[in-house]
């Protein structure tokens, strides 16, 4: 299916110009990114962002003309455009996080024969930015590289969520309630129970209740101030990750997270954006 950009008339300048329009455009882009696979309708965006439909339509028209958003010709849903992909490629050259973490991911995958992930936070979402397989390929469609998913879904994502203040955890989970249902019927109360259990253990873990048929364990990488920067995690077939093996993998994850933290501190580059937006 070929995606095309619809022809849109140039809208007149109005009250929405200036920094307010920029802020709204950024919110629209982040919301579309959260549903990057299927896209969103104009009505969905208006409902989620609590903005008037004419305002959303005007901003979308501008984003389409700039190739930052495109509209599916049949479904009429809005998706991220090719222009954002190009900007992302350019921005990626400024960050060395994946390159720094790659050796650790390979060591983790080889030692466990499972899948090692590097995950970062983006607002109320998590994004897996790197994946290394150590054994037989495992189908993990819910953790695709570069795809936004609700914070807390997946071991690395859970590791980032569990360290936040309780009120912020509740706010994020409630904001993602509708999206959580698409992950095996996951509810906010059930996710909060998983978060609580992980907090009591001191590391992120799930036994298939987040991703059916899969188990995972994760821990965070911290910056020089001690704030969570990213997360390392291992995902495996559910019955291959008993409690005894979890401790072995946890030790490995913590060792590699310390290795990465030291390398990050030595790299002398600005990686503050990886902490995510509140």
| Domains in the chain, CATH or no CATH each | 19-89 (1.10.10.10), 94-275 (3.30.450.40)
Q: Is the pLDDT of residue 89 over 70?
A: no
pLDDT band at 206 (very low <50, low <70, confident <90, very high): confident
Q: Quickly tell me which residue has 């920067």 as its tokens.
A: 229
More confident site: 154 or 90:
154
Question: How far lies 94's CA from each of 109, 153, 205, in Å?
Answer: 26, 28, 32
Q: Report the share of the chain in percent with pLDDT over 90.
A: 42
Average pLDDT value for residue range 182-199:
93
Average pLDDT value for residue range 193-209:
91
CB of 47 within 8 A of CB of 41?
no
SS3 130: strand
pLDDT band at 151 (very low <50, low <70, confident <90, very high): very high
pLDDT of 39 reads 85
- The rounded distance, in Å, linking the Cα atoms of 231 and 254 is 10
Q: Is the pLDDT of residue 3 over 50?
A: no
- The rounded distance, in Å, linking the Cα atoms of 164 and 226 is 13
SS3 126: strand
Question: How far lies 271's CA from each of 16, 80, 101, 222, 251, in Å?
Answer: 32, 24, 13, 11, 26
More confident site: 98 or 202:
202
- The rounded distance, in Å, linking the Cα atoms of 278 and 274 is 12
- The rounded distance, in Å, linking the Cα atoms of 195 and 151 is 11
Tell me if the pTM is above 0.85.
Answer: no
pLDDT of 226 reads 83
More confident site: 128 or 86:
128
pLDDT of 160 reads 96
More confident site: 94 or 232:
232
Q: Lowest-confidence range among 189-198, 215-224, 253-262, 265-274? A: 265-274
- The rounded distance, in Å, linking the Cα atoms of 243 and 163 is 22
CB of 214 within 8 A of CB of 238?
yes
User: How would you classify the pairing of strands 228-237 and 214-222?
Assistant: antiparallel
Q: Is the pLDDT of residue 152 over 90?
A: yes
């Amino acid at each position: 299916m070929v995606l095309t950009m619809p022809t849109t008339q140039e809208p007149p300048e109005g009250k929405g110009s200036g920094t307010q329009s920029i802020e709204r455009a950024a919110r629209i882009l982040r919301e579309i990114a959260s549903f990057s696979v299927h896209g969103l309708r104009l009505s969905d965006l208006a409902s989620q962002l609590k903005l008037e439909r004419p305002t959303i339509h005007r901003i979308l028209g501008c984003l389409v003309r700039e190739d930052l958003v495109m509209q599916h010709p049949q479904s009429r849903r809005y998706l991220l455009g090719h222009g954002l992909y190009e900007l992302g490629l350019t921005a990626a050259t400024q960050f060395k996080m994946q390159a720094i973490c790659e050796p650790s991911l390979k060591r983790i995958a080889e030692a466990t024969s499972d899948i090692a992930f590097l995950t970062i936070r983006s607002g109320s979402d998590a994004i897996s930015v790197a994946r290394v397989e150590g054994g037989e390929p495992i189908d993990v469609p819910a953790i695709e590289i570069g795809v936004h998913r609700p914070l807390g879904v997946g071991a690395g994502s859970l590791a980032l969520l569990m360290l936040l203040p309780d009120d912020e955890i509740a706010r994020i989970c409630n904001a993602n309630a509708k999206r959580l249902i698409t992950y095996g019927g996951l509810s906010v109360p059930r996710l909060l129970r998983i978060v609580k259990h992980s907090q009591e253990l001191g590391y992120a873990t799930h036994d298939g209740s987040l991703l059916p048929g899969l188990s995972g364990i994760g821990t965070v990488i911290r910056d020089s101030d001690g704030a969570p920067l990213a997360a390392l995690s291992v995902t495996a077939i559910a019955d291959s990750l008993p409690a005894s093996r979890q401790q072995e993998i946890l030790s490995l994850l913590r060792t590699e997270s310390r290795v990465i933290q030291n390398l990050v501190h030595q790299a002398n580059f600005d990686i503050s954006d990886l902490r995510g937006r509140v």
